[in-house]
């Protein structure tokens, strides 16, 4: 039996439960707020363009991207990319998500420290996520503790990436709500609906960070048994 599928799996069960709950919550919030149209009638793309322009970010592009909830800000070419269900929709969910991605663009323009740190961690985190499992398993099979340790060390970059993501995402949502409130994009009673979607989405990042952290603890627990 592989070491990941023994009693040590109990360590990650809380994170699995939280991840499932978070996914259900964000799906419910998104679906319910996707059915509520904003009074102003702005689409996600239009709202994003106005927020960016009002913050002096006219060089940041707003583009459509395929998929559902694939919205993101790409700092490499300074583009806010909105999914099909957000770009052309005038729902409260669309406005909230578009404003959140603009929040990342504003972070970038302000040289927000955590965003810069997360971007620097992206390469090492991807490397750690892809190499951890093969290095750990090979190290276990051929009894090479140093290989196991390297795998764990590399995976720690992925854990740190998820942890640093938390302040980045929470701050982007905070900036989004400030923009929506001060810019008059949504009425006061509509702000609650947009915030509901952003708060639900935040829990998915919390779950991802907890999962990564508990996986690291699981690896250290298994490694400790080998000594």
Residuewise pLDDT in 10s, the chain (227 residues): 345 556 666 777 888 888 888 888 888 988 899 899 999 899 999 999 999 999 999 999 999 999 988 999 999 899 999 998 899 999 999 999 999 999 999 999 999 999 999 999 999 999 988 988 888 888 888 888 888 889 899 999 999 999 999 999 999 999 999 999 998 899 888 999 999 999 999 999 999 999 999 989 888 888 776 65
For the chain, state the CA radius of gyration: 20
Check the CA dihedral 89-93-96-99 and report its sign: negative
Structure tokens at 68: 């559902």
Q: State the Cα–Cα distance between residues 154 and 138, nearest whole angstrom.
A: 15
Structure tokens at 169: 């995402």
Structure tokens at 91: 């729902």
Region label for 62, one of left (φ > 0), alpha (ψ between -120 and 50) or beta (otherwise): beta
- What global pTM score does this model have? 0.88
Catalytic residue among 63, 101, 169, 190: 101
For residue 63, give every residue at least 6 positions away whose Cβ sits within 8 Å of its Cβ, in sequence order, or none. Answer: 79, 80, 81, 82
Structure tokens at 67: 């998929």
Whether residue 101 lies in the annotated active site: yes
Structure tokens at 31: 């679906």
3-state secondary structure of 91: strand
């Amino acid at each position: 039996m592989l070491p990941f599928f023994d009693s040590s799996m109990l360590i990650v069960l809380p994170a699995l439960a939280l991840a499932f709950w978070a996914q259900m919550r964000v799906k419910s919030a998104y679906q319910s707020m996707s059915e509520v149209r904003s009074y102003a009638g702005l689409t996600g793309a239009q709202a994003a363009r106005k927020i960016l322009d009002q913050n002096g970010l006219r060089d940041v592009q707003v583009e459509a991207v395929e998929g559902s909830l694939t919205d993101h800000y790409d700092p490499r070419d300074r583009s806010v990319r909105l999914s099909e269900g957000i770009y052309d929709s005038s729902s409260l969910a669309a406005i909230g998500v578009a404003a959140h991605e603009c929040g990342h663009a504003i972070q970038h323009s302000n040289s927000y420290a955590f965003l810069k740190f997360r971007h620097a961690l992206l390469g090492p985190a991807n490397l750690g996520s892809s190499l951890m499992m093969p290095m750990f398993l090979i190290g276990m099979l051929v009894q090479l503790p140093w290989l196991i340790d390297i795998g764990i060390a590399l995976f720690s970059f992925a854990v740190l990436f998820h942890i640093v993501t938390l302040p980045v995402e929470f701050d982007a949502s905070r900036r989004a709500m400030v923009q929506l409130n001060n810019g008059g994009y949504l009425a006061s009673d509509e702000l609650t609906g947009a915030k509901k979607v952003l708060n639900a989405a935040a829990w998915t990042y919390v779950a991802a960070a907890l999962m990564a952290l508990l996986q690291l603890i699981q690896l250290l627990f298994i490694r400790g048994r080998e000594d």
